[in-house]
């Protein structure tokens, strides 16, 4: 009789999400892989119903402590679409600056403290710091720059409060932003060093025929708007997102899982998808570094997403510097509007990938419907699919070693259920 093995990961622990991993094998054949997410539903969409639309950005910012900007800006853009608000170029640049801050703090942390230890043989960034203090110090300093930018522009580093439908409650003073320039000039060089260092890491030889999806904008690297493109060559207007991309509930997850098209296929969102689809719109220094380190696109090795994050770190610094150096406080910080009934949607790029929001409001300006699709729910099915493919290559009788390899693959996606240290507790049930 063929022996059945159950590999169960009890708890993937982190504030942003709680989950585990379940693998069922018969012999060495993988019967089932489930990324189990058991965090209680947070019900944000229901919470928003009946609220004034002005409250939405501050509420949606609370969805995530590491990428609040993506949530609040997606909601703002969707609500502005619903109300027919057109913002000025000055406001638009300030919003991109806010995105740069978030990408810097998120990517710097993930690259240096959460993901690099996987490639260097450490259990955590804290352990890695003993042997790589310069790299970890650099990462902390870069993260701090991102937080500082969010503080100046958003009012505070975590859950910014200065973002409003129509613009900003208050435009930052020029001196406050220009004071950041010396640090950001240092940061740009440090981001280059980081990316060159990341390119020297040893990556598992694992590539897949991914369907990678990200926003694409004709003139700029995608952050706050664009069309939804796939590496398969398809492109959609954001208003058609829900026709192509679907969410469904699966029994083993309290997070909805996304899939694409009639085949309900998985797809991959995040920095690797963005770089693959937008390499020519990276900033000049990021493009040059990508060439110098021989980063070939399309890159279909998920482990190399850490390099894509490095390239985006460079891009964010370079774009931020451009905005900081030319900033003049806008004459109008917020476009006025009158509430009226309408519906609108928007997609932006969170550090972890594409994020989609849709809202309906009534004549009183109250939210009557809200839909939020975060990046991690879109990647969830892809992660399971990756693990099915990856497990046969790494499966051994040593379940803890197998679990560690699985963790490394999961962390490539920087999901809100990963953890920098041991987030997998592995138990194996053997029948017979």
Site residues for another protein per CB under 8 A: 13-16, 65-66, 109, 114, 125-127, 129-130, 133, 136-137, 140, 144, 158, 418-423
Residue 12 beta carbon to another protein: minimum distance, rounded to whole angstroms: 10
- Contact at 8 Å (CB) between 245 and 305? no
Residue 16 beta carbon to another protein: minimum distance, rounded to whole angstroms: 7
Residue closer to another protein by CB (options 33, 114) is 114
Residue closer to another protein by CB (options 15, 364) is 15
Please classify residue 236 by burial: count the beta carbons closer than 10 Å to its beta carbon, then call 0-12 exposed, 13-18 middle and 19+ buried.
middle
Residue closer to another protein by CB (options 111, 345) is 111
Residue closer to another protein by CB (options 139, 365) is 139
Residue 122 beta carbon to another protein: minimum distance, rounded to whole angstroms: 11
Residue 62 beta carbon to another protein: minimum distance, rounded to whole angstroms: 12
Residue closer to another protein by CB (options 210, 423) is 423
Residue 413 beta carbon to another protein: minimum distance, rounded to whole angstroms: 12
Residue closer to another protein by CB (options 187, 365) is 187
Residue 129 beta carbon to another protein: minimum distance, rounded to whole angstroms: 4
Residue 46 beta carbon to another protein: minimum distance, rounded to whole angstroms: 20
Residue 142 beta carbon to another protein: minimum distance, rounded to whole angstroms: 12
Residue 123 beta carbon to another protein: minimum distance, rounded to whole angstroms: 11
Residue closer to another protein by CB (options 126, 332) is 126
Residue closer to another protein by CB (options 65, 84) is 65
Other beta carbons within 10 Å of 100: 30
Residue closer to another protein by CB (options 344, 374) is 374
């Amino acid at each position: 009789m063929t022996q059945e093995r159950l590999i169960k990961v009890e708890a993937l622990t982190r504030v942003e999400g709680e989950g585990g991993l379940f693998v069922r094998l018969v012999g060495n054949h993988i019967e089932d892989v489930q990324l189990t997410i058991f965090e209680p539903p947070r019900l944000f969409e229901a919470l928003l119903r009946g609220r004034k639309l002005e409250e939405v950005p501050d509420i949606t910012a609370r969805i995530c402590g590491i990428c609040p900007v993506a949530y609040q800006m997606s909601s703002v853009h969707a609500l502005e679409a619903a109300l027919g608000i057109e913002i000025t170029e000055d406001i638009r640049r300030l919003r991109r600056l806010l995105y740069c801050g978030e990408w810097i703090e998120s990517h710097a942390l993930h690259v240096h403290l959460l993901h690099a230890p996987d490639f260097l043989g450490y259990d955590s960034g804290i352990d890695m710091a003993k042997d790589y203090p310069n790299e970890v110090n650099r990462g902390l300093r870069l993260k701090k720059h991102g937080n500082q930018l969010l503080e100046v522009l958003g009012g505070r580093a975590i859950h910014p409060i200065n973002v409003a439908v129509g613009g900003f409650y208050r435009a930052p003073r020029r001196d406050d932003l220009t004071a950041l320039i010396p640090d950001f000039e240092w940061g740009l060089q440090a981001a280059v060093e980081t990316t060159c260092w990341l390119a020297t890491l040893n990556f598992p030889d694992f590539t897949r025929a991914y369907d990678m999806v990200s926003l694409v904008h004709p003139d700029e690297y995608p952050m706050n708007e664009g069309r939804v493109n796939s590496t398969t060559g398809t492109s959609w207007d954001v208003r058609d997102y829900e026709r192509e991309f679907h969410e469904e509930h699966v029994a083993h997850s309290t997070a909805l899982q996304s899939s694409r098209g009639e085949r309900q296929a998985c797809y991959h969102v995040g920095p690797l998808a963005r770089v693959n689809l937008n390499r020519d719109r990276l900033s000049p220094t990021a493009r040059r570094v990508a060439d110098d380190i021989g980063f070939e696109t399309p890159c279909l090795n998920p482990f190399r997403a850490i390099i894509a994050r490095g390239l985006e770190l460079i891009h964010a610094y370079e774009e931020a510097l451009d905005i900081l150096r030319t900033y003049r406080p806008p004459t109008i910080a917020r476009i006025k509007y009158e509430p009226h009934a309408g519906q609108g949607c928007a997609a932006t790029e969170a550090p972890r990938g594409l994020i989609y929001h849709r809202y309906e409001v009534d004549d009183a300006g109250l939210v009557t419907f809200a839909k939020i699709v975060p990046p991690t729910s879109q990647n969830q099915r892809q992660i399971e699919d990756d693990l099915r493919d990856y497990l046969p290559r790494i499966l051994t009788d040593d379940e803890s070693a197998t679990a560690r390899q699985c963790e490394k693959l999961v962390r490539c996606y920087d999901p809100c259920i990963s953890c920098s240290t041991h987030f997998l507790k592995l138990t194996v049930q053997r029948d017979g």
